[in-house]
Chain A
Amino acid sequence: MPIATLSIHRGGLGEAPRRDAFEIGFEPGESILDALRRLRVDRDPTLAFRYACLNANACKECMMLLDGKVVYACTARLEPREMRLDPLPNKALLRDLATVIAPPDERLAEGGSAREGLAREGLAREGLK
């Protein structure tokens, strides 16, 4: 079985970044996402990355850098060599390989008081009654 070495950016915003290296055997044809998901099950469940559709390439959530180039983790194939994985550079970092990719108007506003948002924007509920 061929072996890939994944060198992965670890850490969150404001933490000193570090790298972890994982050696992982793979079946030819498997994707980076296949390996990351297996790493979570077998080695480190705290590893953070984004994905939803597993490998259909429909959700477009799994973008990251492979050796400095933007790829979909679910379509980039594993190779028997060192592969460097990093979060998208132009997006705010969440943790490890996960970044903030939702459009700004589809995020929960940062900070905010305990009762914010819709209460300000819309009709007060009492007003409807």
Chain B
Amino acid sequence: MNMTTKSAADARHLEADVLVIGAGGAGMYAAIEAARRGAGRVLLLDRSLIGRGGATVMAQMTVAAAVGPDDHWEHHLADTLAAGRGLSDPKLAALLCEVGADCILEMDAWKVGWARSGDGFAAVQAPGHDRPRCVYVDFLSTGPAVSRALRAQVQRVGPAIRRIGEVAVTDLVVQDGAVTGAAALHVATGEALTIGAAATIVATGGLTRLYARNSASLNMSGDGYALALRAGAVLQDMEFVQFFPIGHLAPRLIGMDPIMWDPFRYKLGGRLLNGAMEDFLGRWGGDAENGRYSTTRDLATYAITKEAEAGRGSPSGGAWLSFTHVPEAELRGAFGPVIDRLAANGIDLTRDAVEVSPIAHYHMGGVRVDTAMRTNVPGLLAAGEAVGGANGANRLSGNAITEALAYGRIAGAEAARIAASGETPAFSPAAASEAVARLVASSRPMNTAGMVARLQRLMSRDVGPFRTAAGLARASQALGALRAEVGEAPPGAPGVAHDLARLDWFDLRQMIPVAEAVVQAATARTESRGAHQREDFPETDEAWRLNQLLELRGETTTLSRLPVAA
């Protein structure tokens, strides 16, 4: 390796009982719970600003939880399992539904501001749910409100939780098979940092940045999957990337997230039309919606893509979404201030349809955990979107925030227990020396931003919602070439403030193995199910009711299959 060797003792070092990597919904809830369960030194890190860097703050829509008087978490569970197309882990899914409902009520006490209706919460019925179950904060403010309430609660906890932003974790530190902390790049100064912790929770969110068109933030490079994989943890269901069918495509819309049309669909129905302004969902197996939003995500993604491939798409290659039949008063009543923001973008919904198309949105797969959010590696836990299993092959809308909150809470409690038990070895700087050497290495300039863009293009072209053996093989080859180009040392030198070219290099080092994991699992699954559609194997095959597990053995990632847990 072309690196200066420098001892890990030279890096700045922090010690914690519980280290939480990522300050989205899962990470913040985990920190709160760990402190509540007695952890005295909780360290909450984020590569961006605390509570602002990930998907949680961007979520504009709804949170599914059985909190209504006529609902029960078991009904929510039944819907979650049905949506998972036979691959959900029922125990993890049950925790999402049961603990998630508690978290929603606790968040209410933390003044998140759920919209009210009568004595209870207002709730909408999203596709795939058997009744209105999706609570929200008006107007399109669910995610910001959740983030704000959690961050305020983290602050209320006081000195037991230390929050530090602009710290990008690059490696977990492993000693005798256990995780004892992490190595990180302090983005603001460009310096190396090590952290020792009795328990470490990966709460880094998903992997949507692997795709050119995606709905989430810059920080969703799948870091947690790569970190966990390298530390010896198992990943599962990596082939199941959820594409959101009606991501905004045209005209250019700024100041709003690209999946903002979903709440419009909940409240107002809306019509999906092809380039000739005809209904087309029925042609691809959908039901006539008759103004009600009833088409699930995987089916809508399929229908829009196929209709465009057949040459009947909208001008920019998607579909039209139209609300022109909805009276203006009704539009205003449902979305008041949002209508003005749209007007600023030159969009008048009473007159104009907009173009939409599928966009990478969420990852069903992830780190394999038990019901306490423990991985198979002692000292390492995961929470939130970083976890795989609960949502199987397809996720219900509203389940992701619930998952983040519930799993964060469970992981935090377990991490506090581990920290008190003293069962993991104390951090040793020697174990971090390779990771630190990489952080302080220097090398030639590289256009790492261009390399990220190339990775995104190749993943979008060949590893999107529709896959073929030939396309996946091409992606695999291209990723191999990119891996070689990235090499062993980051461009530039350490100690440069906010060095994005260098940060992109560390990101590529996570994105490439994660992309390869998606490709490997997608290649092996020779059937179509939920979010994984193989054009060369279009049928769902009962024999494939299996979860695929990935782990690193030496330099190679090996794939195995396991019947879905009962």
Question: Using an 8 Å CB-CB cutoff, how does the interface string of A64-107 with B read, 1 for contact, 0 for none?
Answer: 00000000101101000000000000000011101011100111
Residue of A12, A58, A114 near B144 (CB, 8 A) is A58
Q: Which residues does chain A contribute within 8 Å of B160, judged by CB atoms?
A: 122
- Give complex CA distance A31, B251 in Å: 13
Q: Which residues does chain A contribute within 8 Å of B257, judged by CB atoms?
A: 53, 55-56, 58
- Give complex CA distance A30, B253 in Å: 8
Q: Which residues does chain B contribute within 8 Å of A118, judged by CB atoms?
A: 14-16, 41, 43, 162
- Nearest chain B CB to A89 CB, angstrom units: 17
Is B420 within 8 A of A46, CB to CB?
Answer: no
A48 close to chain B: CB less than 8 A: yes
Stretch with Cβ within 8 A of A (4 or more), from B291-299, B330-338, B447-455, B515-523: B447-455
How many chain-A residues does the 8 Å CB contact rule pick out? 56
B387 close to chain A: CB less than 8 A: no
Question: Closest residue to B191 on the A side, CB-wise?
Answer: A108
- Give complex CA distance A95, B498 in Å: 7
Is A28 within 8 A of B252, CB to CB?
Answer: yes
Stretch with Cβ within 8 A of A (4 or more), from B46-54, B77-85, B224-232, B462-470: B46-54
| A26-43 with Cβ < 8 A to chain B | 27-31, 34, 40-42
- Nearest chain A CB to B447 CB, angstrom units: 5
Is A121 within 8 A of B57, CB to CB?
Answer: no
Question: Closest residue to B219 on the A side, CB-wise?
Answer: A52
- Nearest chain B CB to A94 CB, angstrom units: 4
Question: Closest residue to B429 on the A side, CB-wise?
Answer: A114
How many chain-B residues does the 8 Å CB contact rule pick out? 69
Is B450 within 8 A of A42, CB to CB?
Answer: yes
Is A41 within 8 A of B453, CB to CB?
Answer: yes
B475 close to chain A: CB less than 8 A: no
Q: Which residues does chain B contribute within 8 Å of A95, judged by CB atoms?
A: 496-499
- Give complex CA distance A129, B48 in Å: 33
A interface, over-half SS:
loop
Is B49 within 8 A of A52, CB to CB?
Answer: yes
B255 close to chain A: CB less than 8 A: yes
- Give complex CA distance A94, B452 in Å: 23
Q: A52-B52, A57-B256, A74-B255 are in contact. Are A129 and B193 (CB under 8 A)?
A: no
Q: A55-B255, A61-B52, A116-B14 are in contact. Are A45 and B450 (CB under 8 A)?
A: yes
Residue of B40, B54, B453 near A128 (CB, 8 A) is B40
Question: Closest residue to A29 on the B side, CB-wise?
Answer: B252
- Minimum-distance CB pairs A-B, first 5: A29-B252, A122-B41, A56-B257, A129-B422, A45-B449
Cβ contacts A to B, 13 pairs, < 8 Å: A12-B496, A30-B254, A45-B448, A47-B500, A53-B58, A55-B255, A59-B57, A72-B255, A102-B166, A106-B164, A122-B41, A123-B41, A125-B426
